[in-house]
Every structure is written in structure tokens, then in C-alpha cells.
Amino acid sequence: MNKTNLNIEISKVALLEEDELDVLFRITELIANSVNADSGFIFLSKGKDKYKREAFWGTIDIPKEIERGKGCLGLSIAEEKPLILSSEELFEISNAKSCLIAPLRDKMGFRGIIGFVRGEISFSENELNNLVAISSEINLCLEIFRINRAIYEGVLFSTVQTLISVIEATDPYLRGHSWNVARYSVALASKMDFPRIQIEAIKYASLLHEVGRICIPHRIWRKESELSEEELNAVKTHAIIGEKIVEKAEFPFDVASIVRSHHENYNGAGYPDGLKGDKIPIGARVLSVTNAWDAMVSDRPYRSSMTVGEAILELKNGRGGQFDPKIVDVFLSIIEK
């Protein structure tokens, strides 16, 4: 791939990828293939002279964290300039003959390095100059991605806030519920080491899981006595209605299926589709637990809130029935802490 085509491909990455880590990986992969490298990497600053490997591609392993001024890569970071390192200098990297390194900068200054390793053939000065030229394109790509993301999230979040306001207007008992559930869900998904994009999907599904309620008569939600069969059937439609509303928002990740399935039970006794076990989207299984928890510890028209101890017991009793047992266990480890 020539330099012009490579620059075009790097520019596309900012528009096509949805997560910054994916952007960094795709850039690393594109350039590594272009320069016939065995490995490629990007390290970015994490403060206090610490740098974390945010992207890696290839077969020659690279340390995951480095410190400025320590080790061959740490020393290259301290210099903040383009370098070619020989095999004698690459004492931390096994099977490496040559390494290209270029600094990455943004409007705030030095951010980190991008580098490429070969195991058999040395890099040339011409290849180093090309990488330096490409690094400015990388900086521009990352800036475009962050600007686009900020614009998108700003518009999207404003829309979500509006919908939540409409939801809460239908039922005063729901004030704060969506935000509470979202906080629980993000903490739980993070604890389970879900990918960032999956956590985002779960967050937005948690914020909007009640949106289908706006199409159900308000009197049903506010009824203090037991619901009739007809009213109960009407309530059960809110998950499907919510899915349809969320689909129109055109999220860049799957939020709609989580909203649809958040009332499915692990044993197959839930609604609207009677899904069972792993057939239920993992995000919906997370939301099932966090939604139930916040409902239990909050007042409702038909009952007062449970104590934390009572709610914990309910979750334990629901393991394998209403709830995914593994998710309950992880959630309780957060709550009980």
C-alpha cells in the first residue's frame, strides 16, 4: 500500500470505528501490514510517567506497561523523537531485530509512541521518515474521532434525557429509577470485564428500558390493587414497544434487543419471547438483575420498599429461576462490599 492510500485508509478509520481502542488497533494493523512488520503497538500516557499499551498487533510480544526512562521503550519515550532501535538496544523484546518508533502528539503535547518491530530485517531511515509523516495523520484521525464522538454522544444523550423525562412523567415512582439502574448495570458489566462497546449498549438500554411504558395507559402503572389479566397483558407489551422506539434512535450498538428481553427469565418463564438461559442476550440478563434490585429497594404504588437484606435474599432465591446465577453472584459481590 502506498503512502497516499495508507493515509486515506487511516482517515476512514475515524469515521467507521465506534470505539477509540478499535481505532488504535486498526491504525496499528494497517501500518504494520504496510511496512511488513511482525508486530505493531501504541503506548499512551496514563499520567506520572506511566504508559499503557493501548493497541497491539502481531507475533512478537511487547510489554503491556512501561515507565518513562526505564527499559528500551521507556528510554525512547523519554527522547520524544523518531528512532530506529537495533537488536542490541531491544533487550526487553525477544526475537526483535529492529524497531521503528515515532512520537504521537496532540494539541496538549506529547501523548505517547507508535512503533513497529521486525524479527529478521532492519528498518531503514526512509521507512522511519515515512512513519513520522504518517504519525501526523494518526494524530488528525484521533482528533476527528473524538470530535465526532463528542458530537454524537451530545446529541444522543440529549435525546435519551428527553425520553427519560417523558417516562418519569408517567409515574412519579420512576423518578431516578433509570439512572439508578444504569449506574448498577455499568458497575456490574465493568466488574464482569465486558468490552467497552458492550458496556455502552447496556448503559443506554438501562436508561431506556422503561420507554415502552409511555404507550400503556397511565392508570395501569399507578394502580395500587392487583392487575387484571387484560391489564397484565398490556403491561407485558411495553418491552416490545420499547424495542421499536429504541430501534428508531439508530444506536451504533445493539440496545434494542436488550430492551426487548429485559423481562425474560433465566428459566424461560419470562416475556415477551420465553427465552431461556444463554438464549437471552447477556445485556438483558444484566439488566434483569439491576432493574429488579432497584425496584425492590424503592417504593412502588402497590408496596413499600424492601430492606437491603430482604432484596439480597430475593436475588439469591431467584438464582437460576428469574436470574442468571453468575450475574447475581457478581452483583451481590458489589452490593455486599
CATH at residue 34 = 3.30.450.40
Same-domain pairing of 328 and 192: yes
Residue 152 lies in a domain: no
One domain for residues 202 and 320: yes
In a domain, 90, yes or no: yes
Residue 26 has pLDDT above 60, yes or no: yes
Residue 162 lies in a domain: no
Arithmetic mean of pLDDT, 243-248: 90
Nearest Cα residue to 318 out of 336, 283, 291? 291
- Tell me: do 116 and 234 sit in the same domain: no
Q: Among 98, 132, 147, which residue terminates a domain?
A: 147
Grid coordinates of 196: 467497552
Do 105 and 190 fall within a single domain? no
150 Cβ partners below 8 Å, 6+ apart?
Answer: none
Q: In this structure, are 135 and 259 located in the same domain?
A: no
Taking 70 as the threshold, does the pLDDT of residue 4 lie above it? no
Residues 221 and 291 in one domain: yes
Contact, 184 vs 331, CB < 8 A? yes
Question: What is the pTM for the complete model shown?
Answer: 0.61
Q: Which of 45-49, 62-66, 221-225, 267-271 shows the lowest mean pLDDT across its residues?
A: 221-225
Q: Please, what is the average pLDDT of the chain?
A: 88
Question: Does the pLDDT of residue 253 top 70, yes or no?
Answer: yes
Give yes or no: residues 316 and 235 share one domain. Answer: yes
Burial class (CB in 10 A: 0-12, 13-18, 19+), 259: buried
Please state the rounded mean pLDDT for residues 325-329. Answer: 97
Place of cell 444506536: 251
pLDDT of residue 287: 97
Q: Which residues pair with 323 in a beta bridge?
A: 319
**Residue 230 and residue 181 in one domain:** yes
* Cα 323 to Cα 263: distance, rounded to the nearest angstrom: 10
Please check whether residues 96 and 49 belong to one and the same domain.
yes
Residue 1 has pLDDT above 60, yes or no: no
pLDDT of residue 62 exceeding 70, the answer is yes
Choice between 193 and 173, residue whose per-residue pLDDT is larger: 193
Residue 208 belongs to domain with CATH number: 1.10.3210.10
Indicate whether 276 belongs to any domain.
Answer: yes
Q: Is residue 241 domain-shared with residue 136, that is, in the same domain?
A: no
**176 and 314 inside one domain:** yes
Q: Does a structural domain hold residue 159?
A: no
Please report whether residue 192 resides in a domain.
yes
Domain count, the chain: 2
Q: Binning pLDDT at 50, 70 and 90, where does residue 171 land?
A: confident
Q: Is residue 165 part of a domain?
A: no
Whether 117 and 183 map to the same domain: the answer is no
| CA pair distance 266, 199, nearest whole angstrom | 21
- Under the banding of pLDDT at 50, 70 and 90, the label for residue 207 is very high
The domain in which residue 86 lies consists of: 3-147
